């Protein structure tokens, strides 16, 4: 029986044609004409003052904290239930991540938990659009403004999602996107920093290229301009090959997201009456990008055994995402019981734009059988 992968990138002839055009241009490296065009397109799409295309979302988060002036000894509150990239970025600048628990129904950061954690060393908050669902930005913006904190939106999973009719990526003064292979728009790897402040974008762009300006732009100047290193920067550039792919993908995001929504709706129908499975909850004031479809299993179900059975039937699955405060790399004093519970009970099922109805039904059939077979006594 054919395998059903957990993720699958929707890349095809249009993307191949865009790559061929870059090959013909003679500039496949970063910060070339396709990268510049992508940044302009992102700035227009999200209505922001500046966009910086980078190698991945982790790089965007690091650059954001540098540009925001986070210093050693500062504390940054981060959503706990997520891939650890936000907390890693805080550590990159020798600051301290403070883990905030999440809502049980959405898995997004709990604004009250954020408010309760603010202390004298707190300088900002990184909210996360968990597996594609935007957080509660009305409350988070209010908290940040009241306490004089910066607010960063980690929209890595949420390209195409909305909150109060506004697209994820434009819900905080600074936002970070991912174009990893499992995202709704992908170039295999890639990311972007979006900001309302053009000066912050310019500072991040210089730091993304070792602390100098674009070598491509310098090469267009008559004579022999010699770049000057003004910052200790990093090699976080996005190649023009990846930028060209992303221009195509952004043009297709509506189509690809509609297919993911159809898959999610089908899953929701098939699992709606299953008392051992809780399907994702999407509040009425937002929409989901469906980077992942994550169900929550009843505590009586042996998740590991269910996953083993799914994989034995050729069906990809995963644990969902991480309760960061439990990871040994952090050795933190903070407890996030809701996040910990989701970490131990969530199960990610196949979700991508290429799934067929028959594949979704096969996943459902195998999961229904597995959860009944593997109930703990």
Per-residue pLDDT reduced to its tens digit, 2-44: 999 999 999 999 999 999 999 999 999 999 999 999 999 999 9
Q: Where does CATH 3.90.1150.10 sit in the chain? A: 253-373
- Could you report how far apart the first and last alpha carbons of the chain are, in Å? 32
Is 183 annotated as catalytic?
A: yes
The burial of 64, by beta-carbon neighbours within 10 Å (0-12 exposed, 13-18 middle, 19 or more buried), is given as buried
- State how far the Cα of 39 lies from the Cα of 57, in Å rounded to an integer: 15
Q: Where does CATH 3.40.640.10 sit in the chain? A: 13-251
pLDDT category of residue 231 using cuts at 50, 70 and 90: confident
Mean pLDDT of the chain: 96
> What single DSSP character describes residue 369?
H
Residue indicated by tokens 């054919």 = 2
pLDDT category of residue 297 using cuts at 50, 70 and 90: very high
Element (H, E) at 148: none
**Predicted structure pTM score:** 0.97
Element (H, E) at 308: helix 303-312
pLDDT at site 215: 84
pLDDT category of residue 218 using cuts at 50, 70 and 90: confident
Tell me the CATH architecture of domain 13-251. Answer: 3-Layer(aba) Sandwich (3.40)
Three-class SS of residue 16? helix
The answer on pLDDT for 295 being more than 80 is: yes
Q: Nearest Cα to 186, choosing from 257, 285, 135?
A: 257
* Tokens matching residue 41: 């397109």
User: Which of 86-95, 213-222, 253-262 comes out lowest in average pLDDT?
Assistant: 213-222
> What single DSSP character describes residue 47?
T
Percentage of the chain exceeding pLDDT 70: 99
Domain 253-373 fold = 3.90.1150
Three-class SS of residue 247? helix
User: Which of 35-44, 106-115, 226-235, 261-270 comes out lowest in average pLDDT?
Assistant: 226-235
* Tokens matching residue 178: 């991912």
Three-class SS of residue 179? coil
DSSP readout, 87-112? HHHHHHTT-EEEEE-B-TTT-SB-HH
pLDDT at site 221: 81
Three-class SS of residue 305? helix
pLDDT in tens, 61-93: 999 999 999 999 999 999 999 999 999 999 999
For residues 210 and 234, is the Cβ–Cβ distance under 8 A? yes
CA distances from 66 to 84, 91, 156 (A): 18, 12, 19
Q: Nearest Cα to 54, choosing from 203, 193, 159?
A: 193
Q: Which of 183, 237, 333, 376 is catalytic?
A: 183
pLDDT at site 214: 84
């Amino acid at each position: 029986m054919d395998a059903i992968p957990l993720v699958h990138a929707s890349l095809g002839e249009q993307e191949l044609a865009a790559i061929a055009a870059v090959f013909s241009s003679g500039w496949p490296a970063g910060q070339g004409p396709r990268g510049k065009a992508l940044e302009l397109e992102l700035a227009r799409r999200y209505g922001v003052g500046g966009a910086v295309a980078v190698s991945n979302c982790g790089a965007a988060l690091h650059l954001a904290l540098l540009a925001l002036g986070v210093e050693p000894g500062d504390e940054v509150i981060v959503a706990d239930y997520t891939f650890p990239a936000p907390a890693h970025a805080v550590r990159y600048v020798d600051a301290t991540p403070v883990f905030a628990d999440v809502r049980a129904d959405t898995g997004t950061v709990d604004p009250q938990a954020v408010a309760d954690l603010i202390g004298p060393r707190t300088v900002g908050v990184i909210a996360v659009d968990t597996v594609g669902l935007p957080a509660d930005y009305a409350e988070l913006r209010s908290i940040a403004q009241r306490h004089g904190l910066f607010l960063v939106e980690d929209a890595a999973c949420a390209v195409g999602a909305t909150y109060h009719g506004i697209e994820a990526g434009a819900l905080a003064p600074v936002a970070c996107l991912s174009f990893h292979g499992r995202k709704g728009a992908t170039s295999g790897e890639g990311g972007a920093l979006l900001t309302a402040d053009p000066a912050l974008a310019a500072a991040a762009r210089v730091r993304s290229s070792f602390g100098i300006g674009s070598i491509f732009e310098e090469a267009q100047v008559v004579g022999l301009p010699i770049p000057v290193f003004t910052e200790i920067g990093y090699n976080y550039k996005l190649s023009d090959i990846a930028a060209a792919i992303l221009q195509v993908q952004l043009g297709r995001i509506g189509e690809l997201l509609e297919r993911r929504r159809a898959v999610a709706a089908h899953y929701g129908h098939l699992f709606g009456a299953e008392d051992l499975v809780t399907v994702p909850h999407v509040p009425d004031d937002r929409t989901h990008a469906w980077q992942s479809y994550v169900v929550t299993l009843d505590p009586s179900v042996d998740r590991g055994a269910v996953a083993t059975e799914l994989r034995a039937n050729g069906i990809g699955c995963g644990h969902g995402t991480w309760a960061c405060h439990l990871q040994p790399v952090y050795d933190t004093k903070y407890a996030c019981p809701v996040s910990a519970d989701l970490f131990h009970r969530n199960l990610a099922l196949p979700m991508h734009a290429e799934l067929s109805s028959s594949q979704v039904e096969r996943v459902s059939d195998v999961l229904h059988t597995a959860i009944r077979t593997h109930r703990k006594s």
